[in-house]
Structure 1
Amino acid sequence: MKKNLWGLLGATTLFFGLAAPTITNAADYTLRASHAEAADSPLDKGYHVFKAYVEGASAGKIEVIVSPASQLGSITDVLEQVKAGAIQLAQADEQTLDSFYKPMMILAAPYLFANDEEARQFLASDLFTQLNEDMANETGLRMLSAASYGFRNFTNNKKPIRTKEDMNGIRMRVPPSPMSLIMVESMGGSPTPIPWEELYSALQTGVVDGQENPIGIINDYSFSEVQKYLTIDNHQLGLTSLIISEQFLQSLPVELREIVRTGAQMASATEYGERNYQARVTGVNDLKEKGMDVYFPSPEEIATFREAVTAPIQEFLNKELDPAFVKAVYGEIDNIRAQRRALVE
């Protein structure tokens, strides 16, 4: 009898164990999340960490639907959809966010950050927290988290670029960004805006001598086939941020808001971890193996770039933004550097 009882319990447990997944409750909230990168990219992996955490921690109260590879439109398109409430969360980068809230252009200033850690501390500062609040109040878009996907670096076909003097005479492709134009021009180069889709052929045919992008992009798009020299000067932070509809966020109960915020931080940490490894190890090694001459400037050489660029960039920013705000941003980063130096002295 005992054997039969355990057999019955086992069969019953198996039945309910198999049946349970088909018995689901509809979520109280649906969060549609869009990004522009390919499925299984570091960014996409971050979004799926977000999905897994939010759905699990909310006990199924929030359903997350991830749409990769610009399925719902370009980065600009989907941010407009977030503003309109059609979707709830989307990717932004340092090249697009300022078109929705102009003060965010400060994040794309060349040589603003010396490394990822400075950027992380700035994004956690009271100054940036207030900037984010102002953006949410004015536009209905809130940055939940952000991650560096690598700093932009120079490549070219003419010669190694070790100091700003080496930029003389180089036709450098730049995106259609005023700060990128000012940056290259102030170094003595010839900035040349060329559409992204024409860049490879422009490098191949010599329309331009060089371009600038993060290591991952240089690798992913095979620029090593048409470029010889790479300078790891880290002149501009590449920043992917998760932007949520403020209206949707505030519609959630407080405990679910915290779950969404935590999930977003996990997503950014996931992307950053993989991108950082690519940018500093695998990506650099791949480019060397493909024949690129990779140069790491010394701090003194980097200073020649920064010193050439800082004044004209700040002049531009002071015309576009409140000069007091620009001064406060540079001052905050100076304070971060001073605090970091104090830790090792």
Structure 2
Amino acid sequence: MTRHIAPRPLALTTLAAGIALSTALATSAAQANDFADMDPVKLRLAHVVNEQDGFHIAATKFEELVEARTEGKVDVEIFPNATLGDERTLLEGMQIGTVDMGVITNGPVANFVEPMAVFELPFLFASPEEAYSVLDGPIGQELLDRLADVNLKGLAYAERGFRNLTNSERPVASPEDIDGLRIRVMENPVYVDTFRELGANAVPMAWTEALTAMQQGTIDGQENPINVIHSFKLNETQDYMTLSRHTYAPAIFVMGMPSWQKLPEAAQEVVEAAAQEAAEYEREQNAAMAEQQLAELKEAGMQIEESPDIAAFQDAVAPVYETYGEQFGDYLPRIQEALKAGESK
């Protein structure tokens, strides 16, 4: 039997709408009052990639949200293209207050808080959704909080995304095809050991140096998500790509503790919430752009191996889990347990 609900009297509907509007206006006014007496602050936000990259998308969204919600009292100035230094330099600058904040790849951050490298373990996450469930949950927050131990403030996880292999020498469909290739990896021991187990000559170096090394032919390849390969036009030096999806790499909105502590509490709340929203926005944009970027790389002549032998890659990197399984405390088993719990739902 269909249940009929009588319409609300017009007077009550109008009253409810008026209350909702009044509440919204009061909240907006309260927020404005939070910043009415605040001295203006400028935050210098740096990253190492170009303006077409997902990091810049995240940074500009953050800028928009923070400036709007603080009535312009917090002014965010973005420095792309490593203009303030490579990622390690940026993190060191944040620690002493010469750089305010940045969007930084997880690998370099893990050099400051080692357990964060647990996310770098190969084939840990099978999908972006698995990664988000851990990063945005208690485990991810706990690791962000540990950055305070090194005078940094972890705000939120954006993403670099699933990383894929490129090279200038030959197609790669299995670990045997990697043997002897000189592959640039991030300056992080998990990445170094992963590619050594795959048979590569793993060469850790900063991204700015890697671009020159690829042009000069002193390295054969590198590994990064599709958005980086596309935005830096790596097809001009790298003829082959393998959709290995070997590692999901988070990126972190990080602020130096000196800059964080200078902000009043209301501004801190805005900054933290805006970082999370900007991170989620960047994830959505990355997903939307990936298919188009892959098609454009193919059109540009890049040869793409879309069905590599993932099982063989997983077998080859099993020693990495033996090496690092206990090095990250209980984080690896906790992540694995959380993922299993998610599967059972």
The TM-score normalised by the length of structure 2 is 0.77
Q: Is the 8 A contact 1:118 1:336 kept in 2?
A: no
Report the counterpart of residue 5 of structure 1 in structure 2: none
Residue 307, structure 1, aligned to residue 315, structure 2: yes
The answer for the alignment partner of 1:106 in structure 2 is 118
Q: 1:333 to 1:247 in 2, by over 3 A?
A: same
Tell me which residue corresponds to 1:18: none
CA distance in 1, matches of 2:89, 2:43: 14
Query: Does residue 1:146 correspond to 2:164, yes or no?
Result: no
Is 1:285 matched up with 2:299?
no
Matching of residue 82 in structure 1 with residue 94 in structure 2 = yes
Secondary structure in 2 aligned to 1:291? coil
Match of 1:332 among 331, 334, 338: 334
TM-score (norm. length: structure 1): 0.77
Partner SS, residue 34 of structure 1: strand
1:66 aligns with 2:82: no
- 1:293-323 CA-to-partner distances (Å, cap 9, x unmatched) read 222236xx322212221323441464xx45x
2:120–2:248 CA contact under 8 A, matched in 1: yes
Q: Which consecutive unaligned segments of at least 5 residues does structure 1 have? A: 1-24
Q: Alpha carbons of 1:257 and 1:191: their partners in 2 closer, same or farther (altered >3 Å)?
A: closer
Kindly tell me: are residues 212 and 87 of structure 1, through their superposed partners in 2, closer, same or farther at Cα, counting changes over 3 Å?
Answer: closer
2:154–2:253 CA contact under 8 A, matched in 1: yes
Aligned residue type for 1:335: E
Amino acid in the other structure paired with 1:127: I
CA distance in 1: counterparts of 2:185 and 2:86, whole angstroms: 20
Q: Partners in 2 of 1:155 and 1:41 — Cα distance?
A: 18
Q: 1:196 to 1:53 in 2, by over 3 A?
A: same
Q: Is 2:232 aligned against 1:230?
A: no
Equivalent position of 2:58 in the other structure: 46
Q: Write the deviation string for residues 91-141 of structure 1: whole angstroms up to 9, x where unpaired.
A: 2212321232232222323223222222222212323322222221x1121
Which residue of 212, 218, 222 corresponds with 1:198? 212
Within 2, Cα distance between the matches of 1:84 and 1:171? Answer: 35
Show the counterpart of 1:10.
none
CA contact (8 A) 1:31 1:87 kept: no
Distance 1:250 1:292 in 2: 47
Distance 2:87 2:41 in 1: 20
Alignment CA distance shift 1:248-1:258 (3 Å): same
Letter in 1 for 2:133: Q
The 8 Å contact of residues 43 and 271 in structure 1, kept in 2 or not, is answered as yes
Q: Is the 8 A contact 1:53 1:263 kept in 2?
A: yes
Amino acid in the other structure paired with 2:191: S
Instruction: State the one-letter code of the partner of 1:121.
Output: S
Structure 1 counterpart SS, 2:255:
strand
Structure 1 residues 128 and 291 mapped into 2: Cα distance closer, same or farther (>3 Å)? same
Letter in structure 2 aligned against 1:282? Q
CA spacing shift, 1:131–1:198, aligned 2, 3 Å: same
Partner Cα distance (2:170, 2:79) in 1: 42
Contact 1:118/1:333 (CA < 8 Å) preserved in 2? no
| C-alpha deviation, 1:248, in angstroms | 4.2
Match of residue 189 from structure 2: 178
Contact conserved, 2:50 with 2:231, CA < 8 A, in 1?
no
Distance of aligned partners of 1:26 and 1:148 in 2 relative to their CA distance in 1, 3 Å threshold: same
* Matching residue within 262, 269, 273 for 1:258: 269
Aligned partners of 2:137, 2:238: CA distance in 1, in Å? 39
Counterparts in 2 of 1:304 and 1:292: CA distance versus 1, 3 Å:
same
Contact 1:173 1:211 in 2 (8 A): yes
Q: Please name the residue that 1:57 is paired with.
A: 69
d(CA) in 1 for partners of 2:323 and 2:156? 29
SS in 2 for 1:143: strand
Percent of aligned pairs with the same residue?
Answer: 25
Partners of 2:236 and 2:93 lie apart in 1 by 38
The AA in structure 2 aligned to 1:329 is Y
The reply to whether residue 120 of structure 1 matches residue 132 of structure 2 is yes
Distance 1:70 1:188 in 2: 31
